Structures are given as structure tokens and as C-alpha cells.
Amino acid sequence: MFSGVWSRSLALMLLALSGLVMAGTASAAASPGPTPSASAHVAKPVPVRPPSSPGAGIGTAIPAKPHPAGAVHPLAAWSVTLTASSTYLWPTTYSTLTAAANQDVDPTLYYLRIYDETARAYVITCAHGTTCTIPVTQPTPTHHSYTAFVALNSASYPPDGAQARSSEVGVDWRGVGLTLSADRTTTRLGTVSQLAATTSADIGPSPFWIEIYDATTGTRLASEPDGTQAFALAVQHLATTHKFVAYLSSNSTAYPPPGIQETSPITFVTWSNLGWTVSLSAAPGTFGSEPVTATTNADVGPTPYDIEIFDEAGNRLAACGSGSSCSVNFTPSYDGSNLVAFVSPYSATFPPDGVIASSNTVTTTLRIIP
């Protein structure tokens, strides 16, 4: 009899020790499927700034003319064109703008100038030659339009004495979509939840990495330098709820990382042995308000728990103390709103105190009526 009890106790002790080793870690052996992304150093392209036209005035600076008093009139009517070496590129990388005039501005009163229509500022002014070049970049996804002029050296816009103006040239520093999902948003203690971060395009040619973080602890779980996906495994051995988020950013273990380009909607995972589950549904887009519904696997009425729905900013949209579903009419933003539901004691904190089940995160967008 004692031998059987001793064997069972020894087995329980070994299991507990095994749990301590795994707690808070991602273990490929605990769950089938892709293993966590390796965060080994991988060579990524490093943006290098190309040269500008020598002697040019950058920004608002105006280079001197060598002989302004002896300036001559041009031999023909002025014309100017503007080109960009790339019009679709990753943030932090460079496109070289080139303004080309049909004759040399050197012996005249005029300058060759490039203006950023989006920033409403001159980016370069050249006093000599027929071309004027400058590399331009942006730190995050955006669009800028540029125009070239042959004009006098005024700070006004359009510049005084404008003799010629090019067509606008647009440059896009691209963004990508980024999502994060968990295969189990509510799972038993000691069970692994697999997180998958997915981008809408291969980030291999970019200077950036897909990174997954446990935002509750500020710990990086995975980083991926190329492709469209990164995977991480998360496990807890005590009843708890953790918040996870993915970034497209510079490679860093810091939380949050530097150089953030994209941020995924947050994902919650709850570890609980109480057996509750909750799911959330909403249409991906609406032209007004729409019903958002959280559904549980049992009636919360006889229990101390509520079904609660929140937006990602932490605003509670609904709380239902009975039934197995909870609905609210919600008007999302044009940029998209991310929503999540919980089963928990009645609480306005985000996430609520004492969560025993977390739902999937849904994104819904307010559409423009055509």
C-alpha cells in the first residue's frame, strides 16, 4: 500500500518539477505545429543615404550665386521635369529625386528647386547646372508628393519668379497588414496556446522584423526576419490572463521595440480549469452600427460571472449577467475597431479582474457609403 502511495507521490513531484521548468516558456514538444521563430541574428538590408547634388542648399538653405550682378537671360523658355528613383519602397529606405531643367541655371538669376507638397517645405535648391538631386526617406508608412521649379530664391510657395514647374511625383513608403491570432484563447492550466503573427507581404526585403511579445510581462517570444509569419508558444501553470501583441519593427528584445511600423490587434489568452469558453462575432464592415455578439458555452446567470465586451482602448461596451450570449450595437471607426469579450466577475477594468475565459479578437470597420 505504502509503495503505491510513494510511487504516486513521486510521479506527482516529477510532474510538478516539469511544470516549473515549462512555466512561462514556449515548448515545441508541448504542441504540434510550427515551432517558435528563432531570433538569431540575420543580415537585413541597411538603408544607406545616397548623395545629394554637391553645393546644393538642403531644406531652406539657399546656395550663393557666384556672379549675381552679371546674370544673363536664358536662351530659351524654361522647362523642368522631376523623376524619382523609386515610387514604392519600405520606410527608412531612400528614393532619389532628380529635377532636370532644359538649360543651365548657373549664369541666370534662377535656381533649380524641389518642393515637398505634403510637408509644405523646400527640400533642396541648386544654383548650378541642369540637374538637382536629393535622397528622401520617411520613418513610417506614408505618401509624399513632390514638385520641381525653376524660380528665384524666395521662401514663399509657389516661389517668386517661377519660370517652370514640373508635374507632381508621388512616393509611397509602404505599409503592410499585420494580424495576431491564438489557436486557443481559453485553455487549461499547463496547456500551450500557439500564437501566429501574419503580414500581408513578405518582409524579407525590408529592414524590419515580425516580433511577438507577451505584453503582460514585456517579454519577446519570437522574431522573424523574412516571410509572412512568425510563431510563438505560450503556456502558464497558474490561473491567469495574458495580453499578446505583434509588431513589425526593428529587431529588439525591448518592449515596445524601436522603429515600429505596424502593430497588430491585441490577443488575450486565459489559462483556467473551470471549463468556460467565449467567442465573439461581428461583421467585418458596416455602413453604420452593427450587432456584436459574445457567446458562452453555458448560462452565466446562476454564477458570479458576467459576459463583458470591450474595445481595444479598454472601453466596456456591454455587460450581461445572465444568459449564454451578450449583444451590443456598435459603430466602428473608419480605421477599424478591435473588440474582445471575457467571462469574468463584473468589472470595468481592462482586462477585467478574475477573467476565466477570453474570446477571439474581431476587427470591424466603418465603410463609406459609395
Per residue in 95-131, pLDDT (tens digit) is 999 999 999 998 899 999 999 999 999 999 999 999 9
pLDDT in tens, 207-255: 999 999 999 999 999 999 999 999 999 999 999 999 999 999 999 999 9
Helix (H) or strand (E) holding 198: strand 193-199
pLDDT in tens, 17-76: 333 333 333 333 333 344 454 445 567 878 999 999 998 999 989 998 866 555 667 778
Adjacency order of strands within the sheet including 229-234: 178-182, 193-199, 229-234
pLDDT(136) > 80: yes
Cα separation of 300 and 307, whole Å?
7
Contact in structure between 320 and 343 (CB atoms under 8 Å): no
Strand partners, 88: 172
Please report the sign of the dihedral spanned by the C-alpha atoms of residue 211, residue 199, residue 263, residue 192.
negative
Looking at the domain that runs over 59-173, which CATH code has it been given? 2.60.40.10
End-to-end CA distance of the chain: 78
For the chain, the residue count is 370
Q: Among candidates 318, 367, 321, which has minimal Cα distance to 340?
A: 318
Q: Among candidates 195, 269, 186, which has minimal Cα distance to 31?
A: 195
pLDDT(11) > 70: no
For residue 189, what is its C-alpha cell? 492550466
Q: Among candidates 209, 185, 215, which has minimal Cα distance to 197?
A: 209
DSSP assignment of 30-85, as one string? Answer: GSSSPPPPP----------PPPPPTTPEETT--PPPS-GGG----SS---EEEEES
Cα separation of 253 and 211, whole Å?
9
Cα separation of 142 and 345, whole Å?
43
More confident residue, 259 or 23: 259
Where in the chain is CATH 2.60.40.10?
A: 29-42+176-366, 59-173
Q: Which residue has the cell 509503495?
A: 3
Please give the C-alpha separations between residue 20 and each of 36, 178, 244, 269, 271, in angstroms, as whole numbers.
20, 33, 22, 19, 16
Q: Return the CATH class of domain 29-42+176-366.
A: mainly beta
Q: Which residues of 99-108 are buried (b: 16+ CB within 10 A; e: fewer)?
A: bbbebebbbb
pLDDT at 269: 98
Work out the average pLDDT over 289-302.
Answer: 95
Rg (C-alpha) for the chain, rounded Å, is 29
Q: What are phi and psi of 290, to 5 degrees?
A: -145, 155
pTM of the model: 0.83
Q: What are phi and psi of 152, to 5 degrees?
A: -75, 175
Q: Which residue has the cell 541666370?
A: 108
State which amino acid sits at residue 11. Answer: A
For residue 125, what is its C-alpha cell? 535648391
Total Cβ atoms within 10 A of residue 317: 17
